[in-house]
Chain A
Amino acid sequence: MRNSAIIAENISKQYRLGQVGTGTLRHDLNRFWYKIRGKEDPYLKIGESNDRSVKGTSDYVWSLKDINFEIEQGDAVGIIGRNGAGKSTLLKLLSKVTKPTTGSFKVNGRIASLLEVGTGFNPEMTGRENIFLNGAILGMRREEIRRKFDAIVDFSAVERYIDTPVKRYSSGMYVRLAFAVAAHLESEILLVDEVLSVGDVEFQKKCLGKMSDVSKGEGRTVLFVSHNLSAVRELCDKGLLLENGALKVNDNISDVIESYYRTTNETISLNKIKVTVKYEDDLAYWAVGTRIKIIIENLKAVKGNFLDITFYDKFGKRVFSIEGALAKVPLKLNEKIELIIINPGFVNSFLSMDIGLKEYSSGWYAYLETSVLQIPTVDLENSRSIKGLVLPEIYFKNEENSDQFRLLE
C-alpha cells in the first residue's frame, strides 16, 4: 500500500474580474464588517463557474470550485483541460504562489514547481551565475547546486557558453539551461506546467525522458500540465480532467484523455495505434532507395479512413507531410497497416514523424502518435544522397488485400 503524496480537500479559488479600483475598498470594508461579526465572507456566496466564452453577471468567478482528489506517491498525473479550465491555477495553488480561497492541500514531501522555464534568470549574468541564482530561487542549497553543477551543464549541452551572459543566448539555449536546473531539483513532488512547448524536438524528447526517469525511475510524484496529449499519455499513468474549474474525471490517463476528446465535441472514439519501425538491413547510412518499413498496428477499431503522416527534421521543421485514404474502412481491431518508405534523398540523421488516423469529414484525429526515425549520421561528402526538395514515393499496403496504391501522382 502506497502513501498519499497530495490530498486536496474542497479546493476553490475565486478571482475578481475586471479592474481593481474604487469598488475594491468598498468590498474590502464590507468583507471586514462581516468578518468582525463572525459571519462568512459575503462574496464567497456569489460567483459563477469560469466559462470564459459566456458573458457573466457577477464580478467574481470561481477559477476552481470544490476540487477533491488524492495523489499517491510515485504517480505521474497528467492534468488536462481546455484553456481556462483551471489547470495552471491548480498548480499555482500547489506551488504556493497564491493561496486557495477555501479548502486545503495536505502534502507529503517537498514540492518543486516549474511553472515557467527560467524564472528569475538575470540577462546580465553568465550561465554559471544563473544556474546558482535559479537553483537558489527553486529552493536548492548552494552546496546541492555545486554538487550537481556538472550534471546540469551536461544535460543542458551549453557548456561552451557557460561563462557568457545569458542575454547572448539563443532562446533555445536559454530554455535548455533553465530546464536543466529545474530537472536536477531534489524534491519528492514535481509540478510541471506547459513548459516543453519551447525548445527543439530533440530537447523536448530529452525533457520528457528526464521527467519519465523522475517519476518511473526514482519513484517521485509528477504533476504535468500539457496540451500535448501524446506527451501526457507517454509520461503519465493517472489523469485529472478539469472543465470550467470543476474536476470532471479522475482516472487512468487513457480514460481521462478519452473523456477530454468527448468534451471537445469529438465524434469518433479514441483509438490507439502502435508504431514499429523496421529497417530492412543494417544501415550504415540512409541512402537513396533504402527501404524502411513502418508497421502501424491498430489497437482499437477506428472509423477513421484517412492516414496522415508528417515528418519533421531535428529542429522540428516539417520536411513533408502526406495523407491518403485507406482502401478498407473501418479498420478492425489489431489490423495492421504497412507503410514502406523508400528514401527519396533525405540526408537528415534524425527524423520524427507524426502519424494520425482521422475521419475525413470531421478532421478530428483519432489518434496521433509521434515516433522517431534515428538514422546514423551521413557523411555528406561521400554519400550518394541528393540534397533538396524531393517528391517522395510512399506505398500504403493494407494487409488483407495487398494491392498497393501509390500516392502523390
Chain B
Amino acid sequence: MSATAPAAGARTTYREALRAALRDALTRDRRVFLMGEDVGRYGGSFAVSRGLLEEFGPERIRDTPLSESAFVGAGIGAALGGLRPIVEIMTVNFSLLALDQIMNNAATLLHMSGGQLNVPLVIRMTTGAGRQLAAQHSHSLEGWYAHIPGIKVLAPATLEDARGMLWTALEDPDPVLIFEHGNLYNLEDELAADAGPVDITRAAVRRPGDDLTLVTYGGSLGKSLLAAEQLATQGLAAEVIDLRTLRPLDTNTILESVRRTHRALIVDEGWRSGSLSAEIIARIVEGAFYELDAPVARVCSAEVPIPYARHMEEAALPQVETIVAAARRIGGAGG
C-alpha cells in the first residue's frame, strides 16, 4: 500500500479510490502502463491520474494524440505483445471512434484465432449524464458494449469497487471495459485501509428488502438507494441490486431476489429501446415468469440526445421521484 493511501476507515472519494487502484497496479506489475488523452501532464480529464506521471514517468503514463482508434488498437497490440495496458478513453461517446478496434479486434481475436490470441486489455472510460455536458459527452452506451461477446463490462458504483475492480480486471486474460459514471468522481465515502481487489462476477445486494427488487448499476445506484429509502417510509421494502458487472450478467442474483419479491423495477440511465434494461427484463421473464405479481417496470433515460439546459437534462434522466413513482405503481397502490 502506498504512502498516500487512505488510513483505516478514512473518508475519501471515488476519484481517489480509482487513483489508488491505478497506483497499486502500476506498482505491483511492471507490465502495466496507462495511456490515453491527457492522462499525463494534464492529470486526466477528470483528474483521476493526477500525479501519476511524476510518480511513474512518461513511458508508463502516456499521453496520446486524439486518435482513439490508434491508441485503443495499440493497447490491443501491446496486450498481444505481453504487456498489461490500461487505456483511458475520455468519454463513452468518444469510444465510438475506437469501436472498430474494441469490437472487431479486442472482442474477436481469441475466438477468430481458435483460442490462440487472448487480449489482456483494460479500457476505462467515463459514462453518463448529469453535468450539463450536452449530447456528445453525456450518453450511457455501456449497454451497447454489454451486447458484445468476448468482453467483460464493469460498472463500479461504490468506492470499494472503484478501488478493487481494476486489479481484478488486469488479472483477467481477456478484454475488460470499466465504465465510470461522471457523477461519481466526487462521491465521498469510507474506504477501508485494506481495501483491495474485488470479485467481478457477482452482483451485490446493496439494500435488502422483500417487497420489490430494484435492479440498477453505476450512476443510478445512489438514486435507487434514495428511492428505496423513501419507499421504506411508505411501507414498501425495496431490495436494491447493484449489477456491478454488466457482461456477463449475474442473472442468478437477480432471479433469486425477484423470486422473493415477485416485483422488479430496472433503473438504467441508458435508453430503453434495445437496451440493457430490456435484456434484464427478458431474463426475469424467462427465468421467473410464474413468480411475477406485477409487470416488470423500468425507469430509463428519455429517448432523446441528452440536452444541455439543466431542467431538460434532469427531465431526461431517471430521478428519485420517477423511481419511487414507478415502484409504487407496480408495488401495489396501497404499498
Pairing of A with B: no
User: B: which residues have CB within 8 A of A?
Assistant: none
User: A: which residues have CB within 8 A of B?
Assistant: none
